[in-house]
Amino acid sequence: MSDEAYDLADLHERAEDARVVVVGAGIGGLVAAREIAKLGIGVTLVDAADAPGGAIRSARVAGLMLDLGAESFATRGDHVERLLDDLGLADEVVTPGTGAGGAWVAGVPGVGAAPLPVGGILGIPANPFADDVRRVLGWRGVWRAYLDRIRPVLTIGHARSLGELVGSRMGAKVRDRLVAPVTTGVYSATADDIDPDIAAPGLNAAVTRAGSLSGGVAALVADRQVAPGGAVRGLRGGMGRLVTALVDDIVELGGEVRPGVRALAIERADATEPEDPEPIDDAEQSPRAWRVTLADEDALAADAVIVATEEAPARRLVAPIADGLAADPPAPGPAIAIVTLVVRSDALDAAPRGTGVLTVPGSHRAKALTHTTAKWQWVADEAGAGVHALRVSFGSADGPPATDGLSAADAATLALAEASALLGVDLDRTALIASRVERFAQSQPASTIGQAERTRSARAAIRSAPTIGAVGAWLAGTGLAQVVPDAIAEADRIRRAVLFPESD
């Protein structure tokens, strides 16, 4: 037998004998579990929720299959599309429709609602004199924004706060009417709390080269050449199809997915009391490094554990075994509620506010609205003329969702009132066919000032235990384009630690 054949046989034997437990069945946990299972390593995935998917939730509302959580993915990096292709879903990827126009911004003083200007970055306009910019800012706002072009270059430097950069260069109206609706609607964070180096890589450098903020934005826009609607894509039939495909693949590869099972603690196996121990699954196997205690079920023995929950439970599980990891998050992320409405309204057939609306913070109780049947043609085809699906979003870093404490019926009534105001169309209870309310605990956005440093510190502490890993939005940043590649990389690190422990 050649050395190469011996090495491969030994590796295969190690993989078959190894066991990994993944705690949390959001997309990060599902992707990580699948990567582990690809090499024949035994993997068990547990999640306290009754169904896998985390922030990706699809269900039928009034007979329509709709996304109740994340409805799309960013195309940057092609990470998600490669995963979908690998899962056989490439032909089901769809792009947002452009016939309805883009997003609007509502709550503009003296204006009401207007189309969100195109050709900018994070709401920052490249041309302050463009008609769509002037419609939102007014002439006084336009001329204040123009001062950015003639201010001394020496006042431009590295800015840590997007809000401070925009306010100082182009004025409060650009910051409050254009940038703040984007950061609140997309990141659930104020513009002042966003780090431009993370949210818009290269912006600080482009500003310095161009000598103005608008000039720097123009240069970045020209370099990126992103077509309207081209930055995100979705799945025909809903993003829940990704969850189903991942679960099916994990099981096909020999893994196990167990929803409705809560992990209570992770302990080193040698720290377990030897007298009268609780039963441990796979006890007939060689001793494992870790013991995962479960609620109402036998504990699991594992050579490695990947924690893929939200930040607070992840820290509680890992802090006792990771040097220097705090048991509590430095700051809780915002709570978000999405009220999905299915309504009958002929007036919405014309998509009066494009694909959706962002709001000037403080102007409405909702932070954003998506006109789903105007954005996704497959939903419109399923709904038929006169029937429309709307997503009304509440909650941000400034406060909890306005739906908190309301019954599902009252939350739907509030969402209808907000939708009426944002769309400029009268929608009352008689228009409502069905509704659904979902609440999410969102992670701190990766673009929040200081979050990159906090993430690096947390990762270093977790990796003090080589066969303990962690994935998810609180480490990778929100959005599938960030969570998926991070989960793949972390799963690869754990696989190597399990298969080649002598290299640690």
Identify the pLDDT of residue 153: 65
Identify the pLDDT of residue 284: 40
- Give the strand pairing for 120-121 and 112-115: unpaired
For the domain 3-54+239-330+447-503, what is the CATH superfamily, name and number?
FAD/NAD(P)-binding domain (3.50.50.60)
Identify the pLDDT of residue 285: 44
Phi, psi of 393 (to 5 degrees): -105, 140
Burial classification of residue 5, based on how many CB atoms lie within 10 Å of its CB (0-12 exposed, 13-18 middle, 19 or more buried): exposed
72-78+88-98+231-237+334-441 has which CATH code? Answer: 3.90.660.20
| Contacts made by residues 95-99, CB under 8 angstroms, sequence distance 24+ | 95/229, 95/230, 95/233, 95/234, 96/72, 96/229, 96/232, 96/233, 96/234, 96/355, 96/375, 96/376, 97/229, 97/355, 97/374, 97/375, 97/376, 97/377, 97/380, 98/228, 98/229, 99/351
d(CA 469, CA 441): 21
pTM for the model stands at 0.91
Identify the pLDDT of residue 156: 54
**Do 59 and 436 meet the contact criterion of CB atoms below 8 Å apart?**
yes
Give the amino acid at 226.
Answer: V
Question: DSSP class of residue 288?
Answer: P
Identify the pLDDT of residue 270: 78
Identify the pLDDT of residue 495: 94
Q: What residues does each domain of the chain span?
A: 3-54+239-330+447-503, 72-78+88-98+231-237+334-441, 119-224
d(CA 485, CA 489): 6
Q: Which of 51, 60, 59 is nearest to 29 (CA)?
A: 51
pLDDT of 440-463, one tens digit each?
988 888 889 989 999 999 999 999
d(CA 123, CA 170): 12
Name residues of the chain where pLDDT drops below 70.
1-6, 153-158, 225-230, 271-286, 502-504
Architecture per CATH, domain 119-224, reads as Orthogonal Bundle (1.10)
For 258, the enclosing helix (H) or strand (E) is strand 256-259
Joined together, the tokens standing for residue 89 give: 């879903």
Identify the pLDDT of residue 62: 97
Identify the pLDDT of residue 282: 45
Identify the pLDDT of residue 158: 65
Burial classification of residue 453, based on how many CB atoms lie within 10 Å of its CB (0-12 exposed, 13-18 middle, 19 or more buried): exposed
